[in-house]
């Protein structure tokens, strides 16, 4: 399968990965032959790209951080968590169960890089974001080598619920394509505290989960919110979630901005270490992000286009690629006279 930016998606292409709705249901199944109507509806939904199957990418699989089945289950859980009503529909055990299974899958794939472009509709951002932040947080948590299975599970749970306070903010405000009014902005800013209050009232989570949620918008230099905590005053979980949160937000298509490439998001994080982000954690995080994700098209320094086949954590700028359209495979770790010029997404 290969990644195809939405502008290049055409009728007649075959889906290489199913497209999920916000409830975790398969909206368009893997293997679907796209017609005009499907193509148009993907554009209307604000999907920034899809994975397709074609001859050039045949045999290429791009593993996600967690399996598609678990993604679906986690999405369903988050969707239920965000439903209105006084009493939550989701039990704490259900959250921890999904968090633990996510953690186990991530631990099983220890060496995995974040190598995948995320496929989601712009309006479904809140739900996909929660699941991806949980997965990315655990990926970073594993890298620190400081956390055991139970702690990583709590970190995943904190990731899944970190934005639950957004249930009090209307969708029209969350998805606004315009600048927010001062009142609306205040409401958005309060969501970390609202999340914390909601969890404290309805659940019995460990203090580190609650702190991770409450402080996930604090900045390392003390310029964040809601308490303007700085440095190690900010809990470990919150410093981890903060990085995952910003990375996912930047690389997603949301109603108010187009996605930034993985390298753009890595640049942003590196440029803001010590200000927004804990420098040690940020350094560990960026080592796990594929700059040129597998399945993406790139331009090589000799002007040829190529498809990224494989990344190795030791050399994130020099993947193994297949030149298009003739199929020659080049390992850029060996072919030092060549380099990737840019990611074409």
Where does this chain bind Fe ion (CB under 5 A)?
163
User: In this structure, what DSSP letter does residue 342 have?
Assistant: E
Cα maximum dimension of the chain: 62
- Pick 163 or 248: Cβ nearer Fe ion: 163
Q: For the CB of residue 122, give the shortest distance to Fe ion in the complex, in Å.
A: 17
Task: Say which residue the tokens 């990583």 belong to.
Answer: 152
State the residue number with the nearest CB to Fe ion: 163
Q: For the CB of residue 277, give the shortest distance to Fe ion in the complex, in Å.
A: 15
Contact between 197 and 168 (Cβ < 8 Å): no
Alpha carbons within 13 angstroms on the beta-carbon side of residue 93 total 0
Q: For the CB of residue 282, give the shortest distance to Fe ion in the complex, in Å.
A: 18
CA dist 248 and 119 (Å) reads 12
Q: For the CB of residue 226, give the shortest distance to Fe ion in the complex, in Å.
A: 11
Q: For the CB of residue 132, give the shortest distance to Fe ion in the complex, in Å.
A: 13
- Pick 214 or 294: Cβ nearer Fe ion: 214
- Pick 95 or 194: Cβ nearer Fe ion: 194
Q: For the CB of residue 216, give the shortest distance to Fe ion in the complex, in Å.
A: 6
- How many contiguous H segments (helices) and E segments (strands) does the chain have? 12, 10
Q: For the CB of residue 163, give the shortest distance to Fe ion in the complex, in Å.
A: 5
CA dist 9 and 49 (Å) reads 8
Contacts of 104 (CB under 8 A, 6+ apart): 149
Contact between 208 and 154 (Cβ < 8 Å): yes
Q: For the CB of residue 166, give the shortest distance to Fe ion in the complex, in Å.
A: 7
Tokens of 186: 């205040």
Neighbours of 15 (CB within 10 A): 23
- Pick 105 or 163: Cβ nearer Fe ion: 163
- Pick 28 or 130: Cβ nearer Fe ion: 130
Backbone angles phi, psi at 115, to 5 degrees: -125, 15
- Pick 13 or 250: Cβ nearer Fe ion: 250
- Pick 163 or 218: Cβ nearer Fe ion: 163
Strand 340-343 with 320-323, pairing: unpaired
- Pick 113 or 243: Cβ nearer Fe ion: 243
Q: For the CB of residue 245, give the shortest distance to Fe ion in the complex, in Å.
A: 6
Quick one: which of 166, 248, 153 has its CA closest to 209?
153
* CA 322 to chain centroid: 26
- Pick 163 or 278: Cβ nearer Fe ion: 163
User: In this structure, what DSSP letter does residue 58 have?
Assistant: T
Is the alpha carbon torsion for 190, 191, 193, 198 positive or negative? positive
Contact between 323 and 300 (Cβ < 8 Å): yes
């Amino acid at each position: 399968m290969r990644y195809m930016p939405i502008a290049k998606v055409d009728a007649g292409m075959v889906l290489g990965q199913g497209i999920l709705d916000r409830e975790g249901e398969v909206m368009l199944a893997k293997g679907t032959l796209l017609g005009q109507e499907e193509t148009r509806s993907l554009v209307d939904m604000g999907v920034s790209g899809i994975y397709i199957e074609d001859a050039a990418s045949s045999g290429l699989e791009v593993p996600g951080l967690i399996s598609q089945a678990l993604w679906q289950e986690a999405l369903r859980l988050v969707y239920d968590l965000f439903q209105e009503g006084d009493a939550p529909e989701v039990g704490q055990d259900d959250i921890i169960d999904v968090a633990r299974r996510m953690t186990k899958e991530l631990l099983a794939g220890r060496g995995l890089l974040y190598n995948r472009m995320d496929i989601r509709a712009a309006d479904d951002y809140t739900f996909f974001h929660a699941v991806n932040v949980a997965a990315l947080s655990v990926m970073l948590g594993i890298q620190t080598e400081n956390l055991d299975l139970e702690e990583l599970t709590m970190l995943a749970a904190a990731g899944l619920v970190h934005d639950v306070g957004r249930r009090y903010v209307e969708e029209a405000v969350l998805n606004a394509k315009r600048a927010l009014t001062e009142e609306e902005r205040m409401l958005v800013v309060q969501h970390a505290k609202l999340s914390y209050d909601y969890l404290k009232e309805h659940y019995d989570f460990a203090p580190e989960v609650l702190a991770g949620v409450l402080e996930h918008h604090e900045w390392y230099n003390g310029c964040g919110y809601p308490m303007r905590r700085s440095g190690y005053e900010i809990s470990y979980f919150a410093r981890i979630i903060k990085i995952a949160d910003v990375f996912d937000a930047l690389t997603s298509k949301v109603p108010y901005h187009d996605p930034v490439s993985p390298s753009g998001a890595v640049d942003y994080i590196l440029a803001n270490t010590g200000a927004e982000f804990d420098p040690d954690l940020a350094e560990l995080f960026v080592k796990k992000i594929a700059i040129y994700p597998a399945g993406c098209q790139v331009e090589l320094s000799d002007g040829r286009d190529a498809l990224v086949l494989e990344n190795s954590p030791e050399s994130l700028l020099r993947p193994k690629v297949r030149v298009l359209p003739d199929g020659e495979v080049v390992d850029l770790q060996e072919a030092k006279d060549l380099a990737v010029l840019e990611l074409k997404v």
